[in-house]
Structure 1
Amino acid sequence: MNADAALSDAAPPAAKLPPSGAPMTHYVATGPFDPNATEPMTKAQERVYLASQLTLMWWKFRRHRLALISGIFLLVVYFSILFCEFLAPYDYQARHTDFIRSPPQGIHLFHEGSFIGPFTYGLDYKLDLDTLRRTYTPDESRIYPVRFFCRGDSYRFWGLIEGNLHLMCPGEGGTLFLLGTDRLGRDMLSRMIYGARISLTIGLIGVAVSFSLGIVIGGLAGYYGGIFDLLTQRAIEVVQSLPHIPLWLALSAIMPPDWSPILVYFGITVILGLMDWTGLARAVRSKLLSLREDEYVVAAQLMGARTPRIVFRHLVPGFMSHLIAMATIAIPGMILGETALSFLGLGLRPPITSWGVMLNEAQNINIVVLYPWLILPVVPVICVILAFNFLGDGLRDAADPYR
């Protein structure tokens, strides 16, 4: 039988094949009881029926406006941490001893009705002897235009390349404390920008550790079953029964105090990863228990495929969309874990900075009442957590085949 005869047999009776060389027309059934009642697809129908699974997921995700906005926001934030040194007005360790706990400065455009451009006023300092509170008042006689793409504090880009180019700098002799300063006179905005690099990447690395453990242990338990599955489930129950915060504190306390900040950083990521793999392992196990008896798995076994190939090449990709949605939900937990440990003084330590390290300085309620801008690092934490949660909702809905 030639190709034309095969196509004629496969085509519905009501359809007429196009001449040789003409584009193929796809057909759709018009009635549930008569499979031969067909008509040519419209362009819109053909676009949907021939779309890949990834394309369909993108169309559904794009309709979830809040998740789409959250995804764009997270992309911008994660892209910005690549250029912290350039975006920050000052070096995160630069101290301005004349402006300790200075309030946030505003950027002005007009002075006495005249347009000048972005500028800040000078600050006059006065100590209140009754409350011992530093008070700063703007001096409108001193105007300092804000400079852009300017030379400022020196830095080492990613610790490798010397540079001093900044996106925004204060005018000569002026200051640019858009979010105020801390107890050592360090610019809060610059420290928040630098801290984002640590707080955001620690979530990604922690999720990578937990996903590696969860997929491997849960995959093998679900595929093999038996005594290995039994031991794995008991181990998961033991880990999940332990309270997380006391266990975090215990594991953080055993880290040697003479470790460098980089070693402490990786130690915290490993601790967070070791505590968060159990939920994923159970999800992977339940999925593999239901998929391991399918025909394609039996066919792969008969063809001689080894267990790692069957699990990681055939089974895990079958629910990868579910894993992606779980990752977007797990990353906020990692960020909150690092923030909590650093806030309690058992996580990252100076000179390294993160949002949790900055919040550690705002534990005293009296300080917060007098200098409320010290709790501003909690704002990016809330925004990033909410964005990840909305993004996870959108990815879960887009990957759900029943929606």
Structure 2
Amino acid sequence: MSSAREKDAATDIADPDSGHYVNPEPFNPASVEMLTPEQERYYQASQWQIMWWKFRRHKIALWSGVILILFYLNVPFAEIIAPYTANERSNDHLFAPPQKVHFFHEGEFVGPFVYGMTSEIDIETVKWVFTEDRTQVYPIRFFCRGSEYDFWGLVPWNFHVICPAKGGTLYLLGTDRLGRDVYSGLIYGARLSLTVGIIGVTISIVLGMFFGGIAGYFGGLIDSVVQRMIEILRSLPELPLWMALSAALPVTWSPVWIYLGITVILGLLDWPGLARAVRSKLLALREEEYARAAVLMGAKPGRVIRKHLLPGFTSHIIASATLSIPAMILGETALSFLNLGLRRPAVSWGVMLNEAQDISVIVVYPWLMAPVVPIIIVVLAFNFLGDGLRDAADPYK
């Protein structure tokens, strides 16, 4: 009897007025508001799933991501996609204009083809003048054998997605002063121009997370030293510093080493901004209970930062890194344009724009400015993508 009474008393609550125990009202399941399937799905979702749902609503950022994926899919297969190799020359087609693709010849459907070109020198303007020869029809070939190349510099091959016909040419965006195909150069140039941002940002993230992590976690003297170092680097003019360091690279280096040198320079000079963001986040997160619990359990500072603090704002780091890539692409383009970065035989969009330094050349041969178009598209796409990721990672939006 007493045990039953004790069991009932365990469920009673004390009345603040009388001090006696009273039995509360029985639980009624119907009084609880039921969650809809959509609400249950939201509350059970992980942080990354919620970010993806928010990111999908940002249509411009979503399409920008698709465009960037298409650009980067071309990077490993540049040799296959381009109709010519990057430095293949044609002495008979110097500064040749873009060839138009036709489908009908004399009223009959032929399929995609180009007409042949005849050239002669204009004595008055001292330049080559090209005209279409409509008696020569050259069908465009697909998935064909063409110019030989070494795939990734390793495997000899000659397979192309698109090729000119036997005895014909296929200059979709014209040629430069040495008769090199501009369209093929754009495809090859994407390999260096797009990867320099990815590798440079990787270096920047590693340095930014390291210096920002130790400054935000330890504080005190270490924080002051890192902050002063960041202020010194950010006070220096960025472009002249890039130019000075790039000019210091030995001219005897191979294009690969020059590329690595430019990438390291861009990465070493871009980490202060990310380091400050990491520092400010760690200053707030290190006072959280889970961080203090990890310290009391004997976790070392490196493990606390790496395992407990940094994962809390990884999404913000990704968004910040995405916004840093366009600056590095523009930095490489500017250095190569000024002949202080990559040089032939290496091909990047900046190296190709080096051909268009003379305004008179641009007026006569405007197709040499073709690399400007993919640069604008990629930079805008990265900026829109970064905005979308930043909004998706913001817990207050």
TM-score when scaled to structure 2? 0.92
Question: How do 1:130-141 and structure 2 match up within 5 A?
Answer: 130-141=124-135
Q: Could you report, residue by residue, the CA deviation over 1:320-371 in whole angstroms, capped at 9, with x for unpaired residues?
A: 1110110110000000000000001100111101000000110000000000
Q: Aligned partners of 2:96 and 2:225: how far apart in 1?
A: 57
Q: Aligned partners of 1:126 and 1:259: how far apart in 2?
A: 40
| Superposed displacement of residue 148, structure 1 | 0.4
2:287 paired with 1:298: no
Question: How do 1:327-338 and structure 2 match up within 5 A?
Answer: 327-338=321-332
Counterpart of 1:319 in structure 2: which amino acid? Answer: F
Partner of 1:19: none
Structure 2: where are the runs of 5+ without partners? 1-10, 12-25
Q: Aligned partners of 1:300 and 1:225: how far apart in 2?
A: 18
Question: How do 1:23-172 and structure 2 match up within 5 A?
Answer: 37-172=31-166
2:375 paired with 1:361: no
Counterpart of 1:198 in structure 2: which amino acid? Answer: L
Question: How do 1:211-290 and structure 2 match up within 5 A?
Answer: 211-290=205-284
Q: Aligned partners of 1:328 and 1:45: how far apart in 2?
A: 31
Q: Aligned partners of 1:42 and 1:275: how far apart in 2?
A: 50
Q: Could you report, residue by residue, the CA deviation over 1:24-82 in whole angstroms, capped at 9, with x for unpaired residues?
A: xxxxxxxxxxxxx4222222222222222211111111111110000011111111111
Q: Aligned partners of 1:193 and 1:71: how far apart in 2?
A: 19
Query: Residue 133 of structure 1 contacts residue 370 of structure 1 at CA under 8 Å; is this kept in 2?
Result: no
Query: Residue 222 of structure 1 contacts residue 289 of structure 1 at CA under 8 Å; is this kept in 2?
Result: yes
Counterpart of 1:15 in structure 2: which amino acid? Answer: P
Q: Aligned partners of 1:297 and 1:114: how far apart in 2?
A: 75
Of residues 311, 318, 321, the one that matches 2:315 is 321
Query: Residue 123 of structure 1 contacts residue 138 of structure 1 at CA under 8 Å; is this kept in 2?
Result: yes
SS in 2 for 1:40: coil
Partner of 1:191: 185
Counterpart of 1:279 in structure 2: which amino acid? Answer: G
Partner of 1:182: 176
Q: Aligned partners of 1:398 and 1:298: how far apart in 2?
A: 28
Of residues 208, 224, 246, the one that matches 2:202 is 208
Q: Aligned partners of 1:90 and 1:156: how far apart in 2?
A: 12
Partner of 2:27: 13
Q: Aligned partners of 2:378 and 2:179: how far apart in 1?
A: 27
Larger Rg: 2
| Superposed displacement of residue 119, structure 1 | 0.3
Counterpart of 2:333 in structure 1: which amino acid? Answer: T
Q: Aligned partners of 1:74 and 1:15: how far apart in 2?
A: 51
Structure 1: where are the runs of 5+ without partners? 1-7, 17-36
Q: Could you report, residue by residue, the CA deviation over 1:186-225 in whole angstroms, capped at 9, with x for unpaired residues?
A: 0001011000000000000000111110000010011001
| Superposed displacement of residue 133, structure 1 | 1.9
Partner of 2:366: 372
Identity of aligned residues (%): 60
Equivalent residue pairs, number: 373
Q: Aligned partners of 2:312 and 2:205: how far apart in 1?
A: 16
Q: Aligned partners of 1:311 and 1:81: how far apart in 2?
A: 35
Q: Aligned partners of 2:257 and 2:118: how far apart in 1?
A: 42
TM-score when scaled to structure 1? 0.91
Partner of 2:20: none
SS in 2 for 1:137: strand
Counterpart of 1:304 in structure 2: which amino acid? Answer: G
Q: Aligned partners of 1:13 and 1:323: how far apart in 2?
A: 47
SS in 2 for 1:381: helix
Q: Aligned partners of 1:137 and 1:13: how far apart in 2?
A: 90
2:396 paired with 1:397: no
